Amino acid sequence: MTSLGTGFDRTRSWLRAHPLAFDAGLAAAVLVCMVAGAFADPRSRHDALPAFGQEAPGLRSVVLMVLGAGALVLRRRNPFPVLAFTGAVSVAELLANDAVSPVAMSAVIALYTVASRTDRPTTWRVGLATMATLTVVAMLSGPTPWYTQENLGIFAWTGMASAAGDAVRSRRAFIGAIRERAERAERTREEEARRRVAEERLRIARDLHDVVAHHIALVNVQAGVASHVMDKRPDQAKEALAHVREASRSALNELRATVGLLRQSGDPAAPTEPAPGLALLGELVGTFQHAGLPVKVACGDAEARLPAAVDLAAYRIVQEALTNTRKHAGPGAKAEVSVVRVGPTVEVTVLDNGPGTGEPADGSGHGLLGMRERVTALGGTLTAGPRYGGGFRTHAILPVKARAGRTGEDT
């Protein structure tokens, strides 16, 4: 059963990808049905089933059946011209006043196609016109009385074709609307999540600003008081220093509580060791060299004059860039690390000459996004992408003093 279902799904997918082949098969099946119906005598009294071979269609009927069925191959591309052509062929067969051949079957299929691919008002107009034309011609020109089942059958089949086509069109529109609504809900959910993240970041940034600005202002005032009265009134100076200590402790507690909001329930406890920096660059490079990645380092004394935030960002950029080189550069790759102080900025560059492992490394990974956010938070810029001639290049420009100046202006 599983293999049968798989084969059916494959066949259906192939037919959906090749609609012209499906329409050609449908046209052939309709032609076979029309030819079989032309040889049958439905008025036979000898058996419950119609008798075959008692009547034979003429050459003109065979030609009209072939033309009507052949036009169905183009029913998707030109639905209205195909309906007009099959309707004309059916009218021609009815006006011939011979033994009736089921050429109208092609018009029924064409009418279904039109109804399934157009709107409801057009379906009503075209369907009623087709039903009226074929039924009236069959009643007025047929060899049988106007009230016979053959004539009423044309009316019934054309009506059912219009109704079935309109139902299929409505179902397609309903499914399309559900799919569009689901996609729109997914986009709205993602946008809402991004909006909530942005609002939460803004709220935490405001809290941090309030905490730092308030308590640092208190520390500054109390330290000024202590400095002013240190010689003449040491008791008051000690009291001011106690206020400084209390304000700083309160600031640390509030900062810890605010930043703790960003920590998930399963995250490990905050580390107590100092944050890494470029002073540990040699140890970092050594770990990659032991892992088989040759690394050359060109680093002056820039790390001795870098603020803590810039020092940490530069270290993390080198760490992530070398990690990407180890993962994506491929065997035989070599890396070069450069940290240079250029005026008020420090430039961090990591190059590799690896041919790549075939995995995507176009700058859209989570590690590179994290580096870009870290650099942007400091007011710098980051570029990462393939090098001309092969390899990958990560280049960051970090301002050394811009962040401190901006913070002082904001407070």
Tokens coding 55: 């009547």
pTM: predicted TM-score of the whole model, two decimal places: 0.46
User: Which H helix or E strand runs over 31?
Assistant: helix 19-39
pLDDT at 337 over 90: yes
Calpha distance 384→321 (Å, rounded): 9
Q: pLDDT band at 256, cuts 50/70/90?
A: confident
Please say if the pLDDT value at position 411 is more than 60: no
pLDDT band at 22 (very low <50, low <70, confident <90, very high): confident
Residue environment code for 128-159, b if the CB has 16+ CB neighbours within 10 A, otherwise e: eebbebbbbbbbeebeeeeeeebbeebbebbb
DSSP H stretches of helix in 261-364: 281-290, 308-328
Q: Give 397's pLDDT tier (boundaries 50, 70, 90).
A: very high
**80-104: average pLDDT:** 81
Give the range among 46-50, 255-259, 325-329 with minimum mean pLDDT: 46-50
pLDDT range class, residue 4, cuts 50, 70, 90: low
pLDDT at 316: 87
Q: Please compute the mean of the pLDDT values over residues 96-100 and round it to a whole number.
A: 61
